[in-house]
Amino acid sequence: MSVLKEKIDPKNLEKLNALGNAKLNAFVADGIELLNPDKVIVITDSKEDLAMIREMAKNGGGETPLATPGHTYHFDGPKDQGRDTFSTRYLLPKDMDLGESLNSIDRQKGLDEVRGYLKDTMVGRTMLVCFWCLCPTGSDFAISCAQITDSPYVVHSESILYRPGYEQFKKLSENDMFFRFMHSEGETDENGCSVQWEKRRVYIDLTRNMVYSVNTQYAGNTVGLKKLALRLAIQKASGEGWLAEHMFIMGAKGPGGRTTYFTGAFPSACGKTSTAMLPGQTIIGDDIAYLRKRDGVMYTANVEQGIFGIIGDVNPDDDPVIFEALQTPGEVIFGNVLIKDGKPYWDGMGSDLPKSGVNFQGEWTPDKKDSDGNVVPPSHKNARYTIRLDALANLDPEANNPQGVPVGGVIYGGRDSDTQVPVEQAFDWAEGIIAKGASIESETTAATLGKAGVRKFCIMANQDFVSIPLGQYIQNNLDFAAGVKNPPAIFSTNYFLKDENNKFLNGKLDKMIWLLWAELRVNGDVDAIKTPTGWIPKHEDLAPLFKEKLGKDYTKEDYIKQFTIRVPELLAKYDRVEAIYREKVADTPQLVYDTFANIRKRLKDLQAKKGDTVSPLDL
């Protein structure tokens, strides 16, 4: 208390003491001693506190107002434009092993390093202490969180993305767990951007449910409740028998006004948000879902109340709901886009971009090059927008139901130009988890730091965030269907299949048809064609959907190109994935290898009868 009283004025100390939590007080006191701020502000759920944060963000706190009321923009530094998977590590005591596939460091060594970088970083600054709740407050999904940061931009972002948690925190007992996050921007330049990016660290202490991050501003590294909290939640879920997944939740509309709820896991920049935002459907969440079982039914809830979405190619034709929301007055943060005359611009927005402006590299013109001699794009490929879900016209009415919604189907997708068909249903839950979810391969994109265009294995589209041994993670997913009366159907999707001329075989809105076909399958309304790897649609069921929903004639030629079974490519895929498990995942369940063997046999049997490429009409 002496530490708290020294740096916190009576008004803010009263806010902290009202929570009556000794563990929280110790967390804040540790932050004060380590970070050495000039003063401390405690943020409650009140409108006044949130309005104060918005003003702090606009006045030197990381954001600049735009012409549209409520809109602001934020720039991260040129070397701080994505999640840093290289410097994000688990702090593990000597008796804990997550397997070689997960990035870790000795706990004490890592603590010494990151706390050394954090030491005195808030001298001359204000420490902000804020509280949020993952999932609807008062529900069995809910997890309380406390964040310390010196960035009003981070707090403002969290106020948009997460439900207020101060009042929820009052309900915690002394023994209740909560997630903790400590962040500092570190040294910043004249533009307010973190400059010591070589000393960027994002370290996750699983033994304390705590995350440290320093020398970074990009939201994926600093907004603790996003992917950093997902890592903590996966470990918590594993011990308690539920799932924390990198999934959207959305409502697909079937005949007669029926709504079937789907969850979906896609690696970054693979169509996840655009699937969750399909016209005519409803959204509950676009990124992270918790799943629990009650009375023999799987339920899911959205961890968030907002979207931190990739803005590239968001335009009025392909993403009309999001585009409209981004043009409407209200709270929106644009990140790393091009700014000209108080307006934001980005690649693929459906209109001409100005020939000059300001972006994350400073003053911009089309011929500008970066320090490596590369042409600087108008907006970064990983440019973002942050917005509340209730700003969207298609928010599902059950979005904040504390009970969650029942899961009808699960979708796994990735970037694949030459192998998998656009949509396919797994034969059962186990094969869906193994052959669809645990076998995702996807080309890398600008959403993570590093080289783009490399085919990468990404288990359940969750590889970067799994905080338990991968074999255990697969087994948890397999076991989760136990006791469920009708386990959800599992589907794979692939929006990126190309022809021999390297042209996409799918239109951008074709994904709606794959989703609506899946909705019909979940409810037993249509039959399907059996392949060695699952069930695919019949042409006669897809053609009416294309006509009704998109006004397109869907020819048999289109159908054959898209749904031809490419046997050698599929065999090679499962060979690659199995090799990864054998080499890097020592605790892989035997069922994984048995499933791969069965799929391989079915593929080779088809190959012997029909050849390397098999038209769906020949099945």
Write out the catalytic residue numbers.
270
Phi, psi of 154 (to 5 degrees): -65, -45
Q: Is 382 helix (H, G, I), strand (E, B) or coil?
A: coil
Residues paired with residue 201 on neighbouring β-strands, in sequence order: 214
For residues 438 and 426, is the Cβ–Cβ distance under 8 A? no
For residues 354 and 91, is the Cβ–Cβ distance under 8 A? no
Q: Is 85 helix (H, G, I), strand (E, B) or coil?
A: coil
- Collect all residues with Cβ–Cβ distance below 8 Å to 374 and sequence separation of at least 6: none
Between CA 458 and CA 448 the distance in angstroms is: 13
Between CA 510 and CA 495 the distance in angstroms is: 8
Tokens for 305? Answer: 């109340």
Between CA 135 and CA 144 the distance in angstroms is: 9
For residues 335 and 443, is the Cβ–Cβ distance under 8 A? no
The H-or-E segment that residue 530 falls in is strand 529-531
Residue owning tokens 């013109």: 365
For residues 215 and 196, is the Cβ–Cβ distance under 8 A? yes
Report CA-CA distances (Å) from 422 to 337, 413, 554: 31, 9, 14
Q: Is the dihedral of CA 452, 457, 459, 463 positive or negative?
A: negative
Query: How far is it between the farthest Cα atoms of the chain?
Result: 80
Tokens for 35? Answer: 């970070």
Phi, psi of 232 (to 5 degrees): -65, -40
